[in-house]
Amino acid sequence: MLWTASLCLLWASSILCVPVNKQRQRLLLISFDGFRWDYDHDVETPNLDQMAKDGVKALYVTPPYLTVTSPTHFTLLTGRYIENHGVIHNMWFNTTTKEKKPYYQTQFVNEWWDNGTLPIWITAQRQGLKAGSLHFPGTASSYQGEVAMMRDVEPRLYNYKNETAWRENTDKVMGWFRDQDLDFVSLYFGEPDGTGHKYGPDSPQRREMVKQVDRTVGYIRSSAKEHGLAEHLNIIITADHGMSTVYRNGVVEEITLSKIPGFSFKDVSFYLVDYGPSGMLLPKPDKLEKVYNALKGAHPHLHVYKKEEMPDRLHFAKSDRILPIILWADPGYLINGYFPVQFNKGEHGFDNQEMDMKPFFRAVGPAFHKNLEVGPFETVNIYPLMCHILGIQPEVNDGHLNATKHMLVTSDSTKGTDTNILQNVFTGLIAVAGFLVLVFIVMISHKIVKNRKEDKRSDSSKHLPDNNSVKQTSF
């Protein structure tokens, strides 16, 4: 009986070490390119609103500078400022050959991306998890010879607006989670960026595209349920940057470098301008001061910095890829080279402190509180948050978990589990108490039975003849 009691106690105490809700934490990171923080203010967005009630909504988030697509997305994947991860522009370029490659072709220039910083796909896989990516900038590259386990790169001339394709891509990703047993996936949608560029952020076309985004958010969550993922899949939805209206048609004096007195492209060996409100210049030998002095103060809405003079808050100076002179314009203004060649009604690439450059942020799932609105934070902090949820050790990064941990149900996380420690202890104590009661009842019952047996023996002995008296009578 003592052995049985000990076994019961051992079994009960072991329950204290077993998670009650053993639940694998999975994570889906979604980017809707160019979704500004306030795009849901002038459009009915029932699905985004419901997501906020079911999870967390940030007032806005601040992307890194330079506020363009590839650099800011790689910050999401690495938690590093652009000067540290080295993907400094949408375009790969070579200052010696003067060669440039546009956004899509740059996706396949491996050395542009594989620059010493690992995206979260590789970090997760090296620590035993499974990761995938669909259309996310950087997906096409390998990193130290490794790629995401599951990946899908959009074809050339891809239609980023196709809502049917959005749903197909959503179901593909959910299938990866279910059938390929993935732990993390990044998913990219190219809108409402394209619509914001073409028609402007205040246009009815942009508002219609936001409705499409909202429908897709609803579809994403319903697809997660259909694939049996809803209860253990965390979803983070954000964007790379916002969008600002461009001033044109004689409303303002445009910035055209060739028209600035004292400046000449003959003094420049390489330049990146005509791509919105930002630019970089590589002056010829001994021409840096001449170029700098000609441009500095030449236009009231043009900011000109030597690389080493860049404001520390922008974290855009340390990389060897950044050219010696950096230019950016105030919101609404573009930087033209010889003459205007770009006629978008909306643009990004401005100072990341400008409100028009701020993206939105939503998060929902078992790791997150419900119906919680939080203040703004930098997107560089999303990476350590994701690593924490997945239970992996992050690479060196510029973010801080302290900036986001108040969103989480618990700041403690273990790999592959979602364990409520207090609930485990409480349940374990109940189990131990229950077994102790059981052992007590068994022991009492055993005692009662033993006593009854002894009483029966005693009663029986009273009815037996005494040996001595028998002998005496016989005698």
* Each residue's pLDDT tens digit, 34-45: 999 999 999 999
Q: At what angle do helices 382-390 and 69-78 cross, to 10 degrees?
A: 40
Kindly report which listed range (99-108, 122-131, 218-227, 425-434) carries the lowest average pLDDT score.
425-434
Q: Tell me the pLDDT band of 463, cut-offs 50, 70 and 90.
A: very low
Domain 255-343 CATH assignment equals 3.30.1360.180? yes
Q: Indicate the average pLDDT of the chain.
A: 88
Share of the chain above pLDDT 70, in %: 81
| Residue 76 or 433, more confident | 76
Amino acid of residue 459: D
Share of the chain above pLDDT 90, in %: 80
Closest to 413 measured CA to CA, from 123, 21, 25, 126: 25
Residues designated catalytic: 69
pLDDT at 7: 41
What average pLDDT does range 315-332 have in this prediction? 98
25 Rama sector, left if φ>0, alpha if ψ -120 to 50, beta otherwise:
beta
pLDDT at 248: 86
Kindly report which listed range (98-102, 233-237, 352-356, 442-446) carries the lowest average pLDDT score.
442-446
What average pLDDT does range 256-267 have in this prediction? 98
Beta-carbon contacts of 393 under 8 Å, excluding residues fewer than 6 positions away, are 123, 127, 387
The CATH architecture assigned to 26-244+351-418 reads 3-Layer(aba) Sandwich (3.40)
Closest to 77 measured CA to CA, from 121, 111, 127: 121
What average pLDDT does range 272-291 have in this prediction? 97
Amino acid of residue 318: K
Greatest Cα pair distance in the chain: 151
Model confidence at 121: pLDDT above 90: yes
Model confidence at 273: pLDDT above 80: yes
Residues 82-106: tens digit of each pLDDT: 999 999 999 999 999 999 999 999 9
